[in-house]
Amino acid sequence: MIRYFHHSVWGFIFALVLLFLGSSCIHQTNTDEKNKITINTLVIPSRNHTRMQPEIYYAFMSSGKNVQPIVEFEFELFNPFMYDSDENTEMADSGMLDQLYRCVDEIVAIKKARPQTTKLFELILRYIERHPESHLTQVRRKIDDILDVYQFLIIESSDTYGIHPIYYLPGITTIETPEGANTKDMIEALYSLLFLEAAFQQDKPIWGSCHGAQIGYIHAGGMLGRLFDYKEGGYEDISFRKSAPKYIDEEVWHIDNMLYTQEPGTHYQKSAITVYKVPDLFKPEGKKQEMFYLNKDFQHSLAMIPPVPKAIEVISYHPMSEYQSKDQDSNYCEINVAFIEVLNNQVIVDAYLYKTMLGVQYHPQYTYDDMETALVFDYLVKQIMD
């Protein structure tokens, strides 16, 4: 009886302790939840992919832990090409992809009416205002509704041809082009541009990398051009060598069908780290005078070229911007003469601010933990919180 009572008392006390600890744990959990902000984020990937880039996920989730309250991201994809029209999904049921295909004839007709325009998307927006029953109008309404529940928009890089030249080159009025642009390129650019327009109208922050940056540049009325003239089969044995300021001895670009950043003598799968100074915009407050470095890679052949839209604030220029004027500086680089012969000498925008958007031609997510590249994402997280 005594033993039983003794154990009962201690059992009762133990239960009280557990209750207290449990309450404390619950209280702490609730406190933690109050110290977190969740950002519903819509990601537009390349149409060939059914998931977002894991490097982007890692970069934003990591930088989100560097602020108070902690910022967590809930990511969802928009890629109508990942569904068949008869699949039982919300996006497929909406007929989005079928509707997008129906928009192609309207886009071509708009361009044919003004074949010399370099700002087709402006004409598309006017067409939408004047034709409330058009396929373009229906797609825009759906996109406006989709984005309404998100706080942040990401447009990733693309491993496709890129933005169809019908949107920015005068005289292009066909769907198929000699360089390889096709219907899907036209559709991919259309919904990306419309999501960008919706985000601006809803005053939501946007980050675009590579293809995403070029989408923003076109939206602003900019022009894309090749770094070097198109040549079927690419160029051989042409390289560019530059001394890097820190971490590595050199970087080499090899030209094939595209411009690749990679280590000498390797295939595209093994890329070198390229090192450049972090723009002041990304530096932490109070450390603007300090020297930070980030990674840039240049896996592209199309570039953001003049005329630079007035609405854009240029953060930095591409390292090959007006490169022929730099090749006389022996302290800057050693350059293959053949490279200079094929390189188009022109101003090239590398990164910019446009309304609520940050666009960068490179892919900082690939080397988030190298050097101070993470500062790009720290900056974005702070902008989202503001």
DSSP assignments along 16-73, one per residue: HHHHHHHHHHHHHHHHHHHTEEEEEEEEE--TT-SS--HHHHHHHHHHHTTSSSEEEE
Give the range among 20-29, 95-104, 197-206, 279-288 with minimum mean pLDDT: 20-29
Q: Between the CA of residue 260 and those of 48, 317, 352, what are the distances in Å?
A: 20, 18, 22
* One domain, residues 9 and 88: no
Which range marks the domain in which residue 43 is found?
37-385
Tell me the residue type at 258. Answer: M
CATH of the domain at 372: 3.40.50.880
Give the range among 49-63, 78-92, 276-290 with minimum mean pLDDT: 78-92
The pLDDT tens digits for 342-386 are 788 899 999 999 999 999 999 999 989 999 999 999 999 999 998
* One domain, residues 111 and 30: no
* One domain, residues 314 and 171: yes
* One domain, residues 83 and 6: no
DSSP-derived letter for residue 2 is H
* One domain, residues 223 and 370: yes
Q: Whole-angstrom Cα distance, residue 356 to residue 383?
A: 9
The pLDDT tens digits for 59-98 are 999 999 999 999 999 999 999 998 644 444 444 445 789 9
Tell me the residue type at 111. Answer: K
> Cα-flanking dihedrals φ and ψ of residue 73, to 5°?
-115, 135
Task: List, edge to edge, every strand of the sheet that includes 250-255.
Answer: 259-262, 250-255, 239-243, 333-335
pLDDT of 2 > 60? The answer is no
Instruction: Give 243-259 as a DSSP string.
Output: E-SSS-SEEEEEESSSE
The mean pLDDT of 311-331, rounded to a whole number, is 74
Q: Whole-angstrom Cα distance, residue 324 to residue 233?
A: 25
> Which one, of 169, 162, 335, lies nearest residue 239 by Cα?
335
Cβ pair 158, 258 in contact under 8 A: no
> Which one, of 173, 107, 112, lies nearest residue 139 by Cα?
107
pLDDT category of residue 268 using cuts at 50, 70 and 90: low
**What percent of the chain is modeled with pLDDT above 90?**
58
Cβ pair 72, 36 in contact under 8 A: yes
Q: Whole-angstrom Cα distance, residue 193 to residue 265?
A: 38
Query: pLDDT at position 302, please?
Result: 86
pLDDT category of residue 16 using cuts at 50, 70 and 90: very low
* One domain, residues 279 and 381: yes
Query: pLDDT at position 331, please?
Result: 39
Query: Total domain count for the chain?
Result: 2
Per-chain mean pLDDT for the chain: 83
Query: pLDDT at position 330, please?
Result: 40
pTM: 0.85
Query: pLDDT at position 21, please?
Result: 42
Q: Is 203 helix (H, G, I), strand (E, B) or coil?
A: coil
Q: Between the CA of residue 283 and those of 275, 291, 293, what are the distances in Å?
A: 16, 9, 10
Q: Whole-angstrom Cα distance, residue 46 to residue 131?
A: 30
* One domain, residues 191 and 269: yes
What is the β-pairing status of strands 152-155 and 206-209?
parallel
Angle between helices 183-201 and 211-219 (to 10 degrees): 70
Query: pLDDT at position 353, please?
Result: 98
pLDDT category of residue 269 using cuts at 50, 70 and 90: low
* One domain, residues 74 and 28: no
pLDDT category of residue 104 using cuts at 50, 70 and 90: very high
* One domain, residues 23 and 72: no
* One domain, residues 187 and 77: yes
* One domain, residues 179 and 159: yes
Query: pLDDT at position 65, please?
Result: 95
Query: pLDDT at position 197, please?
Result: 98
* One domain, residues 281 and 321: yes
